[in-house]
Amino acid sequence: MANLLYPASSGHYTDDKYSALLEPNLWYNNIFIPGVTYTDKYQLGPAGQIFVHKPGVGTITPTVPGADFTDAIVQDSLVTIALNLQFNRSRKIYGATLASVAYSAAASEMETAIQEIKKAWTLAAYQAMITTVGTINSTNILTVVTASDVYDTIVDDRAKLVATGVTPDTIIVSPAIYGMLLQSDEFQRTGIVGDNAVSNAIVGKVAGLNVVEYEATDSGAIDAATIGGITWATGDLMEYVMYDSDALSIVTSVEAIRLVEEPTRFVGTLAQVQIVSGFKLTNPARCLLKFHDLA
């Protein structure tokens, strides 16, 4: 007997022969970790938006010993982190489905809903960062990084940030760049570093930067958006994003993960997830984009 789809055309398959096995879906890496690749220090509780004071910086000129103080007022500024993005997912599970399959359908639907939200949330955080960086720290060259020069290019870009007073600690790379790092001669082929690179495909750190591989490094760049001082277009290639993790702030105000019995519309359960977040690169000068402009 063929598997049944309940309700027809839009629901879940019931099993002809019960099995407790599920085919896993594919998900992008969860690259944003508090205290590692972003800061949540401004997480102060429910609010529509959060204002963060940024002290002004003045210039000091040395004087001769015994000189009096010269008073100065250095104006500060306000950085706004708006909690303006809500991520919702509600997955419907019919009672007949729950009674007709051998696996825990409710747990599976809840796990999938969480993964769907996480994927969208991560992409929104990444896009908020790359669309904030202007020409100040964009490495816009007409050549694409290769395995032979990827290490030197990263070191040179790190030096550009450090020369401006930035202390970068994170680099988000595309799968292609990650592969080049694994092939790079700069990694020793013996010892722990070499074993991790060759045997386990783990880069770990390069030039003092935590290396994070993100599948949507390039595809997450939106056509027609202003990124790195250019209007992004199909064919442009985002290779990596280097930044100080303390400059990327993510604030979450509301978080709900629940299974709800539907009382009236149908017999069954809803697996629901809701997150409200705000993403802000509080200082664009602490982030650098390396991309290839096709133009």
Q: What is the pLDDT of residue 154?
A: 92
* Mean pLDDT rounded to a whole number for the chain: 78
Q: What is the pLDDT of residue 219?
A: 93
- Contacts for 152-155 with beta carbons within 8 Å, 24 or more apart? 153/290, 154/206, 154/207, 154/209, 154/240, 154/242, 155/207
pLDDT tens track for 29-58: 788 888 888 888 776 555 556 656 556 566
Q: What is the pLDDT of residue 291?
A: 92
CA-to-CA distance for 295 and 142, rounded, in angstroms? Answer: 8
* Rounded average pLDDT over 124-149: 80
Task: Scan for tokens 């930044």, then name that residue.
Answer: 243
Q: What is the pLDDT of residue 277?
A: 86
* Rounded average pLDDT over 140-149: 77
Residue 286 has, within 13 A of its CA and on its CB side, a CA count of 17
Q: What is the pLDDT of residue 18?
A: 46
Which range scores top for mean pLDDT: 22-26, 102-106, 220-224? 220-224
Tokens of 191: 């010892």
Phi first, then psi, for residue 223 (nearest 5°) are -60, 140
Q: What is the pLDDT of residue 29?
A: 75
% of the chain beyond a pLDDT of 90: 24
pLDDT tens track for 179-219: 898 887 765 444 455 455 444 445 578 888 999 999 999 99
Question: CB of 280 within 8 A of CB of 235?
Answer: no
The C-alpha R_g of the chain, in whole angstroms, comes to: 24
pLDDT over 60 at 158, yes or no: yes
Q: Which of 54-68, 116-130, 209-223, 266-280 has the lowest mean pLDDT?
A: 54-68
Helices (H) and strands (E) in the chain, counts: 5, 15
What's the predicted TM-score (pTM) here? 0.76
Q: At what angle do helices 150-163 and 175-183 cross, to 10 degrees?
A: 110
Q: Which of 20-29, 139-148, 199-208, 262-271 has the lowest mean pLDDT?
A: 20-29
pLDDT over 80 at 75, yes or no: no
pLDDT tens track for 227-244: 988 889 988 999 999 999
Whole-angstrom CA distances from 80 to 46, 51, 84, 133, 148 are 15, 5, 11, 16, 42
Comparing 253 with 224, the larger pLDDT belongs to 224
Name which of 72, 77, 99 is nearest 4 in CA terms: 99
* Rounded average pLDDT over 15-20: 48
